[in-house]
Amino acid sequence: MSRSASLAAERLRSTSSARRARERALEICAWASLVLALVPLVAIGIFLIGQGVRSLSLEFFTSDPPGDLSATGGGIRNAVVGTLMMTGLATLVAVPVGIALAVFSREIGGRVAAAVRFVVDVLAGLPSIVVGIFVYSLVVVATGHFSGYAGAVALAVIELPVIVVATDELLRLTDRRIDEGTRALGMLRWRSFLSVFIPTALSGIITGIMLAVSRAIGETAPLIFTALGNNFFTLDLNEPVQAMPLLIYRNALNSAFPAARDRAMGTALVLVVIVLGFNLAGRWIARRARPADQR
């Protein structure tokens, strides 16, 4: 391989101190980048805890907002339940469909698969607000009212491309020899995917799912025109439903009502904790699923 030969030659040519300096510079830049990226994380954490922790209590999770916004007390139960319901439904739909689409484009190939990939890429690039508009005209106008179902549909459309892209990227990186091995063994294709390719890519796929869910849980824009929001508790997805991001968006800048603002800040804290929980849980699962020979 000429690459290594030229490398060897280069090694003989250049002085080691120059290379060590380059190495050091790289390390410094990389560490600096890390610090730069973590500063906002810490700052946001401090901000949320400082603003939000005083609202947390058992009542906060078990009761709903007071009818009069300016009143203290009450909680965000309706928002927590609404978020979990809509995101759960959305994920249930998006994950199998997303993986199937990725498998489809890998397996079938050709023009049709290219077209599918194109559509998914388009979806991935769609701002969540446009998704909200689509679902508004498709579901809300058609059914005549805002609903949690519309919200769930919007979230599913948002999660889908993330899952497809992550699965696709991971399947792509599957070693060719493993693929040829399964064919040589005469394995049925669906078996190959289920038993070999997907498990190998599983950690990455699960990370992709977790990214998708994290994103969906925090989405506000598509819910503005679909779930609308509701100040009351409901389990009926056919009615407008409250969601945590909606509650935050509508109340956190509400300097007129400190009580509402405090509840929103508390909600922000809870939201981030929930999302973190999903994130970490996903990693733990991925770790358990990873075959032993990989890092």
Partner 1 sequence: MTIHRLKRLGAMGLIATVFVGACSGSGATSAPSNAPGVAPSAAQTAGAASAPDATTGGSAVTYRCGKGDGQLNGAGSTFIFPLLSKMGEDYNTKCGVKLNYQSIGSGGGIKQWTANTVDFGASDAYLKDSEIQAAAANGEPVEIPATFGAVVVAYNLQGLSAPIQMTPDIVAGIFLGTITKWNDPAIAAQNAGVNLPATDISVVHRSDGSGTTSIFTTYLTAVSPDWVTTVGGGDPTKSAGKEVEWPTGLGASGNEGVTQGINQTDGGVGYIELAYALKNNIPFATLQNKSGNFIVPSLDSVKAAADLPTYPGDLRFNLANTDSAQGYPITGTTWIIVYKDLSKVLKSQERAQALVDFLWWAIHEGQGDAAPLFYGSIPASLLAQDEAAVTSLNWGGTPLLP
Partner 2 sequence: MTPGSHAGGIRTLARRPGLSQDGWFRLALRGVALLVIVPILWMMVDTFSVTVPVWERFGIPGFVVGARWAPSFTIYGALPFIYGTILTSAIAMLIAVPVAVLIALLITEILPARARTAVAVTVDLLAAIPSVVYGLWGLLVLVPFLRPFEQAVAGTLGTVIPFLAGPTPGPSYFAAGVVVSIMIVPIIAALSREVFAATPRLQREAVRALGGTRWDVIRTVVLPIGRSGVLAAIILGLARAIGETIAVTMVIGNAPKIGASIFSPGFTLASVIANEFNEANQELHPEALIALGLVLLVISVLVNGLAILIRGRFARGVGRVA
14 binds partner 1 (CB under 8 A): no
CA–CA gap between residue 83 and residue 157 (Å, rounded): 16
288 binds partner 1 (CB under 8 A): yes
34 binds partner 2 (CB under 8 A): yes
- Cβ 8 to partner 2, closest distance in Å? 5
Considering the complex, state which of residue 117 and residue 233 has its C-beta at the smaller distance from partner 1.
Answer: 233
Residues within window 110-169 making contact with partner 2, judged by CB under 8 A: 112, 115-116, 119, 121-130, 133-134, 137-138, 157, 160, 165, 169
204 binds partner 1 (CB under 8 A): no
Output the CA–CA distances (angstroms, integers) from residue 73 to 50, 52, 66, 77, 123, in the order listed: 18, 14, 7, 12, 41
95, 207 contact by CB (below 8 A): no
231 binds partner 1 (CB under 8 A): yes
- Cβ 85 to partner 1, closest distance in Å? 6
Q: Could you say which of 146, 149, 225, 233 contacts partner 2 (CB under 8 A)? A: 225
CA–CA gap between residue 133 and residue 140 (Å, rounded): 10
For 55, which DSSP code?
G
Q: Could you say which of 56, 199, 283, 285 contacts partner 2 (CB under 8 A)? A: 283
108 binds partner 2 (CB under 8 A): yes
Per-residue contact track with partner 1, 253 to 282, x per CB under 8 A? Answer: xxxxx-------------------------
- Cβ 63 to partner 2, closest distance in Å? 23
| Beta-carbon contacts of residue 148 (< 8 Å; ≥ 6 apart) | 82, 85, 86, 227, 234, 236, 237, 238, 239, 240, 241
Helices (H), the chain: 2-13, 16-52, 58-62, 77-107, 110-125, 128-135, 141-143, 148-172, 176-184, 189-191, 198-218, 221-224, 244-251, 258-289
- Cβ 66 to partner 2, closest distance in Å? 22
Tell me which of partner 1, partner 2, none is bound by residue 103, counting a contact when its beta carbon lies within the kind-specific cut-off of 5 to 8 angstroms: partner 2
Tell whether the torsion through CA atoms of 187, 191, 197 and 203 is positive or negative: negative
Give the count of beta carbons closer than 10 Å to the beta carbon of residue 231.
16
292 binds partner 1 (CB under 8 A): no
Tell me which of partner 2, partner 1, none is bound by residue 88, counting a contact when its beta carbon lies within the kind-specific cut-off of 5 to 8 angstroms: partner 1
249 binds partner 2 (CB under 8 A): yes
Tell me which of partner 1, partner 2, none is bound by residue 38, counting a contact when its beta carbon lies within the kind-specific cut-off of 5 to 8 angstroms: partner 2
Tokens for 160, please give them.
């889908």
Residues within window 160-199 making contact with partner 1, judged by CB under 8 A: none
289 binds partner 2 (CB under 8 A): no
32 binds partner 1 (CB under 8 A): no
CA–CA gap between residue 282 and residue 207 (Å, rounded): 6
Considering the complex, state which of residue 52 and residue 240 has its C-beta at the smaller distance from partner 1.
Answer: 240
Q: Could you say which of 79, 105, 120, 146 contacts partner 1 (CB under 8 A)? A: 146
Give the count of beta carbons closer than 10 Å to the beta carbon of residue 217.
23
